């Protein structure tokens, strides 16, 4: 069973922090059919909420400091951001930004696991998060890339209550019967300067066609489209500003 709505403890939103929000917005509009919300945004005027049809799916923002990488961030829904922050500390994680209110929209924090992989917390108020999952153009999967799989399988269940389904080749995260993500161990093929991180995968109708369209729009291919268990087909791309993301197709995803 795949995630179809916002679930406490599961991914609820993704945000792109980028060096050129206007160019990034144009790229993702062409690739996924997104459009910018002309209504109120949950933060400042620099925060562009992107819609698929009439529902929110992601945000594109400028980088807020010179040390912030151009990258996608994955946000997890929580019932209480402050209580979750306490569990993160108890599990030997860290808080990069303490929980704070975002107007009437919700309560937000930035955290990192034991290995330094950064993720976001969102305690919803007026804004719940993405309005659609696992439909073409929306978030379909999240993946932790880490050099510390043992630490991760201790940390995330302690913080979020996730189930862990591990096989010889891949570890999968779940919650309340919904599979929403996995974990990839960063081996020798990853340059040492690449830090542990979370990466979103967006659902698509055809992974190969989506890769071709992305390349035509200026993206680079990091992992060519290939088969995966369950008849899935995935690829990893880097957008023209340098942010990595995946595309994901499964027969049930459209």
Domain boundaries, the chain: 11-124, 139-253
Closest CA to 186 of 146, 238, 151, 155: 146
pTM of the model as a whole: 0.94
Instruction: Please tell me the predicted confidence (pLDDT) of residue 215.
Output: 98
- DSSP SS3 for 178: strand
Indicate if the pLDDT at residue 233 is higher than 70: yes
Assigned CATH for 11-124:
3.10.180.10
- The token duo for 90 is 């108890």
Which architecture, in CATH terms, is 139-253? Roll (3.10)
51 secondary structure, DSSP code: E
| 74, β-bridge pairs | 14
Strands 118-124 and 106-112: antiparallel
CA distance 41 to 210: 28
Indicate if the pLDDT at residue 43 is higher than 50: no
Strand order in the sheet with 163-166: 163-166, 171-175, 178-185, 139-146, 197-203, 244-249, 232-238, 220-228
- The token duo for 13 is 């939103």
Q: Do domains 11-124 and 139-253 have the same CATH topology?
A: yes
User: Which of 38-52, 56-70, 118-132, 173-187 shows the lowest per-residue confidence on average (mean pLDDT)?
Assistant: 38-52
Q: What is the mean pLDDT of the chain?
A: 92
Q: Residue 248: which residues within 8 A CB-CB, separation 6 or more?
A: 140, 141, 201, 202, 203, 204, 207, 232, 233, 234
Convert the pLDDT of each residue in 175-184 to its tens digit.
Answer: 987 889 999 9
Kindly write down the DSSP assignment for every residue of 113-161, as one continuous string.
-TT--EEEEEEESS--S-S--SSTTSEEEEEEEES-HHHHHHHHHHHH-
CA distance 227 to 218: 24
Q: Residue 229: which residues within 8 A CB-CB, separation 6 or more?
A: 170
């Amino acid at each position: 069973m795949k995630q179809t709505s916002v679930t406490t403890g599961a991914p609820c939103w993704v945000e792109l922090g980028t060096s050129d929000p206007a160019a990034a917005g144009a790229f993702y509009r062409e690739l996924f059919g997104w459009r910018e919300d002309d209504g109120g945004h949950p933060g400042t005027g620099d925060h562009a909420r992107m819609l698929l049809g009439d529902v929110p799916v992601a945000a594109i923002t400028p980088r807020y400091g010179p040390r912030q990488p151009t990258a996608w961030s994955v946000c997890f829904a929580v019932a209480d951001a402050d209580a979750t922050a306490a569990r993160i500390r108890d599990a030997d994680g860290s808080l990069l930004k303490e929980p704070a209110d975002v107007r009437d929209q919700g309560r937000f924090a930035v955290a990192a696991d034991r290995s330094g992989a950064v993720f976001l917390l969102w305690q919803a108020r007026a804004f719940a998060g993405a309005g659609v999952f696992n439909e073409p153009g929306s978030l379909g999967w999240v993946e932790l890339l880490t050099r510390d799989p043992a630490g991760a399988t201790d940390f995330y269940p302690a913080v979020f209550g996730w189930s862990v389904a591990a096989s010889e080749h891949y570890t999968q995260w779940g919650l309340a019967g919904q599979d929403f993500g996995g974990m990839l161990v960063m081996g020798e093929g990853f340059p040492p300067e690449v830090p542990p991180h979370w990466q979103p995968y967006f659902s698509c109708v055809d992974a190969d066609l989506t890769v071709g369209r992305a390349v035509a729009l200026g993206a680079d291919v990091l992992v060519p489209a290939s088969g995966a268990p369950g008849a899935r087909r995935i690829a990893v791309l880097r957008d023209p500003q340098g942010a990595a993301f995946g595309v994901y197709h499964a027969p049930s995803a459209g």
